[in-house]
Amino acid sequence: MNSKKKCRQYSADYIKYGFVKSPSNEQLPMCLLCEQVFSNEGMKPARMIDHLKSRHSDKVEKDVQFFIKMRDSRKTMGGIFGKIDRQNIDGLVASYNISLLIAKSGKPHTMGENFILPAIQEAVTTVMHSDGRSVIKSIPLSNDTVARRINLMASDVEKTLYSILKTTEFSLQIDESTLPGNEALLLAYVRYILEGIMVEEMLFARPLVTDTKGESIYKVVENFFQEKEIPMNNIIACATDGAPAMVEVRWLSKGKCLSRFYSLFDTILEFLEEENPQLMQLVSAAKSDVAYLTDIFDKFNAMNLQLQGNLVTLVKCKTVVSSCIGKLTLFKQNIGRREFYQFPHLAGLQISDDDLLAYCEHLEVLKADMIKRFTDLLELEPPHWLIDPFCVAAPTVPLYLQEELMDLQSDCEEKAHFTMMGYERFWIAIAGRNKFPNLWKVAKLLVLAFPTSYLVERGFSAVVQLLTKQRNRLDISQCGDLRLLLTDMKPDINGIIDEHHAQVHPSH
């Protein structure tokens, strides 16, 4: 056999065989037809040809393409195990993703096994016309499994957040509340800028084991920052509902209650006429008072809604509160002239002069009370260049800001950004680009500081949602459910799987 034919023969023979690794990491040939593994001696073409003739005589005359096709299409043991491993890994990823959905919904952990898995099996069976049992088997969603998944994902989110706060300035918002069972819980939120975007995240939920005094709260906060190695000097501002101004955010439910009561006023009188005629007379006589209170609380509800929500700044709050206080004077003047445009519930009633005088006096008292409550906010004077840096003459600002302001005003790209974004998002973007540091140093407190304790109060609503009868033994400060319910951060599921599931075994 000449060398050319010999090479062709060797190529054909080798195509008929795959290779596996021995325990000593050597490559050994394996017959693709019977998975017979040869020793090193077996690597000689002559031995391989003998094996083919003796064991697979019906395939001796097959050409090379036959073996190439077989090699590409047959399921080797490695391929089979690879498919099984891939299915297990995909099932594990699905298990984490579904556990995240359960946490985001605030539902009990048993929802996975009792509802989601049966729903998946029904969908696979009905729509895909295949047996869904293998799919279900690869997605562990038992109660304990879902709890573990949630805690691991919450821990991953926390590590990411804490690492950011170690090197980032942020504002803090804290509040305490009493849970069912008379347990006190302290919630904290942070606001910071990351890559040109303002982010608000729950920092922690911790029990208050002694009392709710300021000193005890400070100790909990201080211990937390020491434990997580986050410098406390990264905090640039702190908000709590201890200030009188923060109590205004709780008026919303009272206003709704009054509106509903007044809409049912005649029905209530009919009911009281049979049950308690004397009380009916008293309620009927107070109809104009209820109508007035319904209208005034509607005004405060409108203000309240503007103070709530994410990313509200001190500047916006001052605008809203100042406007509301100014309107109280307007309301007093109009109602004193029997002009009820701003009081639609009063408009259809016969109002006595004494009642009008009482309402005018009440509006005056209310204005004085709001001025007292919001003194700090009303005295806040944001620099004009913060609101519109392109319409302020540079010589009118402090000396250390003049050059940066002129550089900013000469930057056509930044002017376009300001036009598109508005001043709040503009300064946040400036911080993200690390430009104009002196201007940002002045602006950051007005942009980053929390003006209300709205987020922690919303957090306590989530706590109540989680502590249902089915989950009354849930340790809200230790489990990850609250974290995943409130966070906008995404856990690194693939990283968690790599760290905690080196060997994948499907189990429930």
28-43 tens-digit pLDDT: 666 766 656 666 554 5
Q: Is the pLDDT of residue 312 over 80?
A: yes
**Comparing C-alpha atoms, which of 120, 158, 165 is closest to residue 141?**
120
156, 114: one domain: yes
263, 217: one domain: no
- Residue 135 is predicted with a pLDDT of 82
- Residue 8 is predicted with a pLDDT of 41
- What is the number of domains present in the chain? 4
Highest mean pLDDT among 43-52, 141-150, 474-483: 141-150
Sheet holding 235-239, edge to edge: 197-208, 183-194, 170-179, 235-239
Which residue range is the domain that position 463 belongs to? Answer: 81-241+453-508
- Residue 213 is predicted with a pLDDT of 73
**Residue 185 near residue 482, CB atoms below 8 Å:** no
Residue 158 host element (H or E): helix 143-165
190, 251: one domain: no
230, 165: one domain: yes
Contacts for 104 with CB less than 8 Å, ≥ 6 apart: 484, 485
20, burial (CB in 10 Å: exposed 0-12, middle 13-18, buried 19+): middle
What is the torsion angle, in degrees rounded to the nearest 10, for the CA atoms of residue 105, residue 238, residue 374 and residue 383?
Answer: -110
- Residue 493 is predicted with a pLDDT of 93
Distance between CA 321 and CA 343 in Å, rounded? 20
Residue 402 host element (H or E): helix 399-409
Highest mean pLDDT among 30-39, 385-394, 448-457: 385-394
- Residue 4 is predicted with a pLDDT of 41
209, 163: one domain: yes
317, 193: one domain: no
- Residue 30 is predicted with a pLDDT of 65
- Residue 476 is predicted with a pLDDT of 79
Q: Which of 59, 74, 89 is the last residue of a domain?
A: 74
29, 42: one domain: yes
pLDDT in tens, 145-196: 999 999 999 999 999 999 999 999 999 999 888 776 667 889 999 999 998 8
Pick from 242-256, 276-290, 445-459: least confident: 242-256
**Pairing of β 27-31 and β 17-21:** antiparallel
**Global model pTM greater than 0.85:** no
Q: Could you give the count of Cα atoms lying within 13 Å of 444 in the half-sphere of its Cβ?
A: 24
195, 164: one domain: yes
98, 141: one domain: yes
361, 393: one domain: no
**Comparing C-alpha atoms, which of 203, 168, 163 is closest to residue 432?**
168
225, 268: one domain: no
Q: Which of 379, 409, 439 is the last residue of a domain?
A: 379
Phi and psi at 98, nearest 5°, equal -70, -40
pLDDT in tens, 251-303: 445 567 888 888 899 999 999 988 899 999 999 999 999 999 999 988 988 88
Distances (CA, A) of 293 to 88, 257, 272, 322: 62, 11, 21, 21
Q: What one-character-per-residue DSSP string does 427-461 give? A: HHHHHHTT--HHHHHHHHHHHHS-SSSHHHHHHHH
158, burial (CB in 10 Å: exposed 0-12, middle 13-18, buried 19+): buried
**Comparing C-alpha atoms, which of 482, 497, 455, 486 is closest to residue 207?**
482
- Residue 311 is predicted with a pLDDT of 79
100, 216: one domain: yes
pLDDT band at 456 (very low <50, low <70, confident <90, very high): confident
Q: Which of 22, 39, 74 is the last residue of a domain?
A: 74
**Residue 112 near residue 99, CB atoms below 8 Å:** yes
